[in-house]
Amino acid sequence: DGGITQSPKYLFRKEGQNVTLSCEQNLNHDAMYWYRQDPGQGLRLIYYSQIVNDFQKGDIAEGYSVSREKKESFPLTVTSAQKNPTAFYLCASIDRNSNQPQHFGDGTRLSIL
Amino acid sequence: AQTVTQSQPEMSVQEAETVTLSCTYDTSESDYYLFWYKQPPSRQMILVIRQEAYKQQNATENRFSVNFQKAAKSFSLKISDSQLGDAAMYFCAYRTNRDDKIIFGKGTRLHILP
């Protein structure tokens, strides 16, 4: 079955370290997204990418970076510049040429040690 | 910039009763989609219902229906015959066709009282 795989499920980071969250999809979707979820804040858009080698900042991009070298992969790096990285991170994708909703991964919970 | 507002952080409804969750959005676009997602404690995101902006008819999926008021930029979700399994966070989402940006509201936590 096609879907989105996020790994790892739980991730711990020491202060001052960069960490990369993986997101892979085998749905052949063009567009991919990263969201951050905090209690009471809903899902906030970090970055999204409509096509390979292109991406746009969302509403809370500061302290994060992404790459889109392959259609199926959209990794998110949480840099040391992100002062409050503890959160639940969700990756999603869509087929840009349809009205279908987003497919979501199961998420990664990032915590600071 | 587009925004999505859910003004009810929490709501409660008696089992078998009907409840309506509110959502308003702000956009200058004319071509877009609206969605309601359910997120149970497992944190899995589950699509409840979707609406194309160009369609005047309100979408319906079994016990779930929407009241889409395009001029008022309102997109409320009605859940009929509420069941214990409906207890979850509900998120309203907006997608523009112009640049595929998809944004969410802050969510409404729905409690079902037995």
What's the pLDDT tens digit per position in A4-27?
Answer: 999 999 999 888 899 999 999 999
Asked if the Cβ–Cβ distance from A42 to B6 is below 8 Å, we say yes
Q: What is the pLDDT of residues A56-96, one digit of tens each?
A: 999 999 999 999 999 999 999 999 888 899 999 999 999 98
Q: What is the pLDDT of residues B43-55, one digit of tens each?
A: 999 999 999 999 9
The whole-number pLDDT of residue A33 equals: 96
User: Least CB-CB distance to A31: which of B37, B100, B103?
Assistant: B100
Q: Is 70 exceeded by the pLDDT of residue A100?
A: yes
Name the closest residue on chain A to residue B92, using Cα atoms: A42
The whole-number pLDDT of residue A15 equals: 86
Chain B residues within an 8 Å CB radius of A31: 100
Annotate A33-61 with b (16+ C-beta within 10 A) or e (fewer): bbbbbeeeebbbbbbbbbeeeebeebebb
d(CA A60, CA A37): 11
Question: Quick one: pLDDT band at residue B94, thresholds 50, 70, 90?
Answer: very high
